Amino acid sequence: MKFRDIFWLSYKDLNEKRVRTALTIIMVMIGVASIIALVSLTTGISQSIQASLQSLGPTSIILTSTKSTGFSLSDVDGILSLPNVSSVTPLVEGSGTLVSTNENESVTVVGISQQGLEQLLGGTPNLYQGSVYNSTISPASLIGYTLAFPSTTGGRQNLALGQPFTLRAGGRRANSYSIPIAGILQSYSSAIIPINTAVFMPLQAAEDMLGRSSFNTLLVKSTNTSSVSSLTTELTDIYGNNARVISTQQLAATASSIIGSITVLLILIAGISLLVAAIGIMNIMLMSVLERTHEIGIMKSLGFKQRDVLYIFLIQALLIGFVGGIVGIGVGTGASYALAIGVSHSSPNTTSSSSSSSFGAGSSPGRFGGGEGAPPRAVAFGRGSPSSSRSSGISFTPALTIGTVVEALLVAMLVSMFAGLYPAWRASKMEPIEALRQL
């Protein structure tokens, strides 16, 4: 029998039972859409994190103090004297509150030199307006894009170039400072510091404003990628428990491993939907076989072979899987982009800030000596103050490849085909006489 005729007989039965067919297709669609959305979202997040870490460079090592006193210039000079070290960038980080007439907003205050800013951002700062401040005591600032264009104003510019804004910082005895804006950064995605909601200023200005006399963090650059591991080990031996030492290579590997494990778990959960769909397909196919028993008897009496009947029902199952897969890919793609937009705009503003740290403010002196004591205050990398509900604003684009689409479609069709095997086999094995008796 011609394939065209077999295909028409398969489609004809599905078309006659439209409601039942549509419900079965929806079950397949839910499973495929779940897989597409989860895979594209987790892949997009993984790529965003990897890109953020790689902006620091594969030779970067981050030292974060864990004690009440921070790194000093002695530590900077000592690390610079080590083999395979090309540069050391000190940072002073703390929490502050941007005071406005509408709503106060927690921000991250970062003190860093102009050269250090280039090391942190992976090159010359990408500016929306203005220029980078000079590395002087003057508290001129460079602000993140989200601070200038907050979501609460519908994306309208709230802080303008050259316009001073009021920043409250300095711990429990917080003082208010009027800070002029030298420049506004373009939007950045960072896994280290929430750049879009940060206020950058010269080191000395940040130290005076935050009441510090030491550095929170040191960004160390190795001369080459092959020496990163040995340098990380050496710095860990020097500082011990007084500092957290981790390279961007380690961060990238850890992030990739965690996201990979989460992706597998989510896919297994989404696979349950396909299992339910498979049971539904088997159910509808068995019902179709029972309803068409007499018709099957007539077809066999007219000369239809067992394989012809088998193909009719298998093609029905494949059609359900194919249509469900195509619709699921479309729905899953749309859902992933909608969720990505929702996550990017879900960080609310806050009206309070905290002066305490969630990631350690300083370190007791290491082998190279230490700075003067300072109250423990600094915010964690990648976070605002503990009381703030504003995040660093994860910004990512779902990553959907042709391979993922093809695999999802093949899985839907294979699941449908295997679910339809038994009903199709049962239909093909019917004896014509027995089938015709069931009028």
- pLDDT, tens digit, 9 for 90 and up, residues 372-387: 333 333 333 333 333 3
- In the prediction, which pLDDT does 260 show? 81
Residues 183 and 170: their CA atoms lie apart, in Å, by 23
Q: Write down the pLDDT at residue 330.
A: 92
pLDDT per residue as tens digits for the range 2-42: 777 778 877 887 777 888 888 888 888 988 898 888 888 88
When mean pLDDT is compared over 45-59, 268-282, 352-366, the highest value belongs to 268-282
Rounded average pLDDT over 220-226: 87
Average pLDDT over residues 99-108: 76
The pTM score is: 0.60
Confidence bin at 213 (pLDDT 50/70/90): confident
What is residue 329's predicted lDDT score, i.e. its pLDDT?
92
Q: How many helices (H) and strands (E) does the chain have?
A: 12, 11
* pLDDT tens digit sequence for 299-321: 777 777 888 888 888 888 889 88
Q: Are 288 and 409 in contact (CB under 8 A)?
A: no
The Cα–Cα gap between 177 and 209 comes to: 8
Is the distance from CB of 134 to CB of 114 less than 8 angstroms? yes
Residue 361 pLDDT more than 60? no
The token pair at 190 is 């960072």
Asked if the model's pLDDT at residue 265 lies above 90, the reply is: no
Q: What pLDDT does residue 39 have?
A: 86
At 228-240, the pLDDT tens digits run 888 988 998 988 8
Task: Return the pLDDT at 19.
Answer: 86
Give the dihedral sign, CA 245/248/253/259.
positive
Provide the pLDDT confidence category of residue 344 given band limits of 50, 70 and 90.
Answer: low
Percent of the chain with pLDDT over 90: 5
Better-scored residue on pLDDT, 432 or 89:
89
d(CA 124, CA 110): 17
Q: Where are the domains positioned within the chain? A: 3-49+256-344+399-437, 58-254
DSSP class of residue 67 equals B
pLDDT per position as a tens digit, 390-410: 334 456 788 888 888 898 899
- Spatial contact of 299 and 309, defined as CB atoms under 8 Å apart: yes
Average pLDDT over residues 174-188: 85
Q: What pLDDT score does 419 carry?
A: 87
On average, the pLDDT of the chain sits at: 77
* Conformation bin of residue 66: beta by default, left when phi > 0, alpha when psi is -120 to 50: alpha
Residue 365, C-beta contacts closer than 8 angstroms, at least 6 positions apart: 69, 72, 74, 75, 242, 371
Q: Taking the alpha carbons of 63, 344, 202, 129 in that order, is the dihedral positive or negative?
A: positive
Provide the pLDDT for residue 343: 65
Exposed e or buried b for every residue in 129-159, given b needs 16+ CB within 10 A?
ebebbebeeebbbbbbbbbbbbeeeeeeebb
Q: What is the pLDDT of residues 145-174, one digit of tens each?
A: 888 888 777 667 888 887 888 888 866 567
